[in-house]
Structure 1
Amino acid sequence: MEQDVDRPVDGTMMQTEPATVKIGILDADLGGVPLAAAIASRWPRLSVCLLADTAHRPVGERSTALIRRRLGDGLDFLRRQGATQVILASQTMAALREDSSAAGLCLVDPVRLAAAAAAAVSPSGRIGVIASRATVASVAYPRYIADRRPDARVHQVAAPLVGPLLDAGWEKRPETRMIIKKYLHRLKVRQVDTLILGTGCCGPIAPLIQRKIGRRVRLIDPLALVLGHLADPPLQEAPSLPTQPPSLRLLATDAGPAVRETCRRLLRRRVDLEQIHL
């Protein structure tokens, strides 16, 4: 069953074996890694499995057909791992998904959560989105926002360089500040009062984005909304057995040195990253 933003997460749907509740997180890059760690820390009895399809990044530069195929493959994999609820940490995958891909799963969609939040909080209805090329081309954000607020004007900017800059560890470099400023210029000219961080790569540089777009603009972080969405109502944790301890598994389709280093920087510690073939 698909998880719609209008319906709260039903914890009873998530229980599989008595020992743990399994949550899957599907990402096309590494923006969901901090979210996975936060969920595992906040609900220590949950078994959390994140799958990052890093072999095909940047997914936002790929074709719609490839993105949907990788989304389907990732959901099938997590389903086989026992997950009954899956968080789509990749907003590009969420924006391009087809309803049929969610068969048998309860999905949490950050695009719909963020669209609903932006429509609700924007004073003027002038809403900006900074995202991947594929997410922008999908017009998912303008469509979902219009469903909630027909008078809204949504202005989108593609930001394909954000991911590579983070991979290079250039978060604090002047080149990154210059590029972000250039991306945001068109949104500043449109006088947006709310900005959706439409790619997980923007999360680590949210303070920089806030400085460049202006303090009066409200930032909407979809992955942060996911964490709040899971907590309201709180997830119902199953009792943990000594023989089956809770776990956080981080899986990637490419776990090379660059991917591992990016994970280490995101979590500020060494991580156990498993490479799998999908």
Structure 2
Amino acid sequence: MDKRPIGIMDSGLGGLSVIRIMNQQLPHEKLIFVGDQGHFPYGTRTQQDVCQLALNIGEFFKRQNVKMMIIACNTATAAALSTLQQKMPFPVIGMIAPGAKGALQQEHHDSVGVIGTASTIKNHAYEKALHQLDPDVLVVEKAAQPLVSIVEHGQTGTSLAKQTVDEQLTVFDQRPVETLILGCTHFPFLAAEIQQKLGKKVTLVDPAKEAVNSAEKWLISHDACNDAALLPQSQLYSTGDVKVLESGANQWLSNSNYTCAHLEL
């Protein structure tokens, strides 16, 4: 048993989708979350810039003595995963490889769509990961940066959210897919609007779920789960406006035990 916390980072509030799944699957794990809203958005920054920001958060997690780090950000995974894995003394799990694997495990996956930030799509991170696993899969990519702002501003479930999703996903009208990867941790909060746009026959894949599955397997295989009877209190930090973090946590992490605070890195 290992009672040390797990560190989770994101550029903003999207990483709360990972915490939501962690709380469901691994409720006894203590979590330390950093939403780097002070440098939001990552999706329009250079890879070098994003890598340095992720390294700064990794160093913070090192000081917090975490037992594992999850990069709950597809953009940061593409830019910094290999560097963090080399420099951090704990295992680091990203979103992209688990997400690609999860998509190809679906019953219908001859054509796979990917929506993500401008940076993730520009670098073809998912397309490369998918083709490494299955060279024959058809991949349709679409940058959907405006959807990130919808989530960050608490506008999910609104007519504006539906309108923006419909506008951003029009490419799939002409190039339909069987499975769609939600290639940004903000996007699961818009799953209802996305499913409505694409139809029930399209399977949505949340890489956060696949990443948490990977984390759980590692913890079990290394006898590193926290089996304490009491549910721990997680610590949520924002490098920006903590009130925005509190609002998102109150909306998406109901019945969870957490505190919110500002963090200077």
Supply the distance in 1 between the matched residues of 2:209 and 2:229 (Cα, whole angstroms): 30
In the alignment, what sits opposite 2:203? 218
Instruction: Give the C-alpha shift of residue 40 in structure 1.
Output: 4.3
* 2:170 aligns with one of 175, 185, 192: 185
Matching of residue 264 in structure 1 with residue 250 in structure 2: yes
One-letter code aligned to 1:126: S
In the alignment, what sits opposite 1:254? 240
One-letter code aligned to 1:49: I
Supply the distance in 2 between the matched residues of 1:179 and 1:44 (Cα, whole angstroms): 34
* 2:188 aligns with one of 179, 196, 203: 203
Q: Normalising to structure 1: TM-score of the pair? A: 0.84
Instruction: Give the C-alpha shift of residue 124 in structure 1.
Output: 5.0
- Identify if the C-alpha distance between structure 1 residues 241 and 162 changes in structure 2 by more than 3 Å, giving closer, same or farther: closer
Instruction: Give the C-alpha shift of residue 226 in structure 1.
Output: 2.2
In the alignment, what sits opposite 2:6? 23
Supply the distance in 1 between the matched residues of 2:226 and 2:159 (Cα, whole angstroms): 48
Supply the distance in 2 between the matched residues of 1:256 and 1:22 (Cα, whole angstroms): 21
- Identify if the C-alpha distance between structure 1 residues 172 and 106 changes in structure 2 by more than 3 Å, giving closer, same or farther: same
In the alignment, what sits opposite 2:100? 115
In the alignment, what sits opposite 1:7? none
In the alignment, what sits opposite 1:106? 91
**Larger CA deviation: 129-138 vs 165-174:** 165-174
SS in 1 for 2:139: strand
Instruction: Give the C-alpha shift of residue 275 in structure 1.
Output: 0.8
- Identify if the C-alpha distance between structure 1 residues 170 and 46 changes in structure 2 by more than 3 Å, giving closer, same or farther: closer
SS in 2 for 1:216: coil
Q: Normalising to structure 2: TM-score of the pair? A: 0.88
Instruction: Give the C-alpha shift of residue 156 in structure 1.
Output: 1.0
CA offsets 1:88-127 (integer angstroms, 9 cap, x no match)? 1011100122523222221122210011121332635211
One-letter code aligned to 1:152: V
**CA contact under 8 A between 1:96 and 1:138: conserved in structure 2?**
no
SS in 2 for 1:151: coil
CA offsets 1:183-230 (integer angstroms, 9 cap, x no match)? 111023211111000111111110111110111111100112223333
**CA contact under 8 A between 1:40 and 1:47: conserved in structure 2?**
no
SS in 1 for 2:30: strand
One-letter code aligned to 1:260: E
In the alignment, what sits opposite 2:31? 48
Supply the distance in 2 between the matched residues of 1:198 and 1:239 (Cα, whole angstroms): 32
SS in 2 for 1:60: coil
1:62-211 equivalences under 5 Å are: 62-97=45-80, 99-102=82-85, 103=87, 104-121=89-106, 123=108, 125-211=110-196
Number of matched pairs: 259
**CA contact under 8 A between 1:254 and 1:275: conserved in structure 2?**
yes
In the alignment, what sits opposite 1:4? none
SS in 2 for 1:154: strand
**CA contact under 8 A between 1:40 and 1:248: conserved in structure 2?**
no
**CA contact under 8 A between 1:127 and 1:193: conserved in structure 2?**
yes
In the alignment, what sits opposite 1:230? 215
**CA contact under 8 A between 1:36 and 1:248: conserved in structure 2?**
no
**Larger CA deviation: 105-114 vs 224-233:** 224-233
Instruction: Give the C-alpha shift of residue 253 in structure 1.
Output: 0.8
**CA contact under 8 A between 2:103 and 2:109: conserved in structure 1?**
no
CA offsets 1:137-166 (integer angstroms, 9 cap, x no match)? 121101010000001121111111112222
**CA contact under 8 A between 1:128 and 1:154: conserved in structure 2?**
yes
| Unaligned 5+ runs, structure 2 | none
CA-based RMSD of the aligned residues comes to: 2.4
CA offsets 1:52-79 (integer angstroms, 9 cap, x no match)? 1111111111122211110111111111
Supply the distance in 1 between the matched residues of 2:75 and 2:245 (Cα, whole angstroms): 19
